[in-house]
Structure formats: structure tokens, C-alpha cells
Structure 1
């Protein structure tokens, strides 16, 4: 099924969805955070067709979210998150927390995220004030920035 491109839409969310909005992309990135690095590992865990996985991995590489690195100087390669990919961690945390709240498993929490040093549960991801206080939706407003001058944009693939 062909999807409508958001490439020309001047919206940060639409631009982000153009890159990571395909159904397999965030699951691949999730698995990278869980330590998977090899094509076969992704294929076995996700049950995704090899051609689709190859396309998604290549797109994530093209977008600078993943990079290929040789394994022990050999011909085999592994997929590693770049800083751009690591910066998606709060997005995945938010989706996980939303899913736990609205699509819970009847047997209990699927996964806990704790601080490595203390073993304590982390706080929920959300908007935080400049002074570190959690904010609610009614505490926020969106203010037009210089990039919203009504122009459509075309994202460059660098």
C-alpha cells in the first residue's frame, strides 16, 4: 500500500514521520537499543521478510540513524546507532509508556526501565519546565518560529 509522502509538509512531526513513521523502523531502532546489531538477529526477532528488513536498514543508514561497522575487521558488518539514532530514545520511551497505559498486558508490566546506578524506576517522559518541574498540556503553548514562514520545505538527504 502506497503512503502519502510528508516530505513537503512544513511540520517537525511530519518530517520525523517521513523517516521513522514506517511500521518496522522504530521496532528496528528499539532492537538496537536492546543490543541487536546483526541482520540475522533483527530478522529472527521481528519475523520480517529479508527484503523489507534490508530496505528499512538501508533507509535508516541513509538517514544517518544507523551506520554499518565491520565486525573484527572482517567482511561481516553490524548495525550501530549513531547519535541521531540514540536521540530517538525519548521517543521510544514515550511510546512504551503510552502503550503500557492504554494497551496494558493483563499479566502486568512488560518492561521496567530503571537507573543503572540505583536500580530505581525512572520518571515518565514528558515536558519539563526550565526549572525542572513537570508540565501538563494546559501549561504549554506553541509559538511560531522563523522556520514556519508558510513555506513548504524539501528535506535534504545528507
Structure 2
């Protein structure tokens, strides 16, 4: 975990992993930057061109993602610009991005409306994500519960 995380008085819900994740990466621009980094964007210019984002907002989001250990930065071989790369924590958001994409495919488009697809390197589409318990049983919202900190 990044040294900038931990006990932060500004957490929306200090004991909830979902709330902390949303606090870190839950705004529109951060998620789209992460998505584009997964698709090969690495420079400020590439992110700006792909997203059409204002310079000041992009600067702020890139700084926050670096500060929180989701992106790392280095100097390009030319020495003229920064290159951004996903850290292990950033790459670990892949399943989250896929889950958002699949939800969007099901609920954010009208029937027959075209949308981009994500495939593996052979061109095959991804299977639908489905959470399972350790025994392999499929889970849904009505078959799970949150165990609060300090409870059994």
C-alpha cells in the first residue's frame, strides 16, 4: 500500500473497501485515465488527446494517481516528458474496468446501438465476469453479506 494511504480522516467510510476505492479512483476522469493506460496511453499528450480533458484536470488526476500508487512516472528516453505506467495496484484494477465495461454493455446502450468490445489477443470476446465463493458457487447481491469490522 502507498505511504499516502492508511488512516485518512477524509475517507468517506473508513472501514469499507468499496468506499476507499471510490475515494481513490471513483471519479470519471481517474477511471478513464486508468482505462487508457491499460490500452497503452503513457504520456500527458496521449491522455489529453484520447480524453479531451482540460490540462489542469488531467494534471491533477495524474498527480493523484501517482501519489496513491496507481501510476508511476519516469522520464522518457528523450528527457523531455514524463511517461506514466500502471503500477501493480493499477494493473490490479483490470477486473474492475472489465466489470464496469460489461455492466455498460448490458445497461448503458439501447438495443442494437454499437459499442466497442474488449477481446483477448486472439480476438475472442471475454466471458462475463461472475463472482464465486472459494468453493466455486456463483454469488449475487442477495446471496452475500458484508461482515462489519469487529463482528463475527
Same fold, TM-score > 0.5, yes or no: yes
Alignment of 1:100-119 (within 5 A): 100-104=105-109, 107-116=112-121, 118-119=122-123
CA displacement 1:100-156 (0-9 Å, x = unmatched) = 11111555442222232x432221122023344543334x323526xx138xxxxxx
Q: Structure 1: where are the runs of 5+ without partners?
A: 151-158
Alignment of 1:97-136 (within 5 A): 97-104=102-109, 107-116=112-121, 118-136=122-140
**TM-score, length of structure 1 as denominator length:** 0.78
Q: Structure 2: where are the runs of 5+ without partners?
A: 1-9
Q: 73, 78, 87: which is aligned to 2:83? A: 78
Pick closer, same or farther for the CA change 1:96–1:144 going to 2, 3 Å: same
Pick closer, same or farther for the CA change 1:119–1:48 going to 2, 3 Å: closer
| C-alpha RMSD of the superposition | 2.2
1:144 lines up with 2:147 in the alignment: yes
**TM-score, length of structure 2 as denominator length:** 0.81
Q: 47, 51, 58: which is aligned to 1:46? A: 51
Q: Which one has more relative contact order, counting CA pairs under 8 Å at least 6 apart?
A: 1
